[in-house]
Amino acid sequence: MLCFACSSLAWTAPNLAKDPSEKKLQQLLSSLDQIRTRNQIAALGVAAPKALIPASLTEAQQAKLLGSYRAVTTRFAGSRLDKLQIIEVAGKLFTRINGKNTAQLIAVATSLFIRKKENQATIAIIEDTDGKMYYQGSLGNFVKTSAVSNY
């Protein structure tokens, strides 16, 4: 049973099996949720957010970001996100957490980044006055420890 009056349709079928017909239903629910969200935004008279245009980093700017970072804060009690690595694969930047969970970083400015399907910067990587590099994002806050990965 689906509840179309709910604030989010996505929760109505969270544990669907992965067979093709149920996957189609999941896609339909997602599409309906996106349409509902656009209609709510339009009803408020607010323009929908525009997608950010990726920025190009020079090789030197990109190279400065690469390396290993260690956590300087913990976002959630018991969190084990203590190592972050920024790597380059085929000219694109990626983060790797604790040696796994790789995700692409997309530059929208020299120090601001997004993930795929985001429309605003959620990650900042900045250099302080002493030359230390800091990563701040939803994963937590990290400081660069080495230019070469050691894990």
Helical spans, DSSP H, in the chain? 20-43, 59-65
**SS3 state of residue 12:** helix
Pick the residue with more confidence: 47 or 139?
Answer: 139
Residue 65 sits at φ, ψ, to 5 deg, of: -80, -25
Pairing of strands 92-97, 83-89: antiparallel
Strand partners of residue 83:
70
Using CA of residue 12, residue 18, residue 22, residue 28, what is the dihedral sign? positive
* Amino acid 8: pLDDT: 42
Q: The whole model's pTM is what?
A: 0.62
Closest CA to 138 of 103, 87, 100, 99: 103
Label the pairing between strands 100-107 and 112-114: antiparallel
Look at the block and give the residue holding tokens 């509840």. Answer: 3
How much is the pLDDT for 111? 92
Whole-number pLDDT of residue 98:
82
Percent of the chain at pLDDT > 70 equals 59
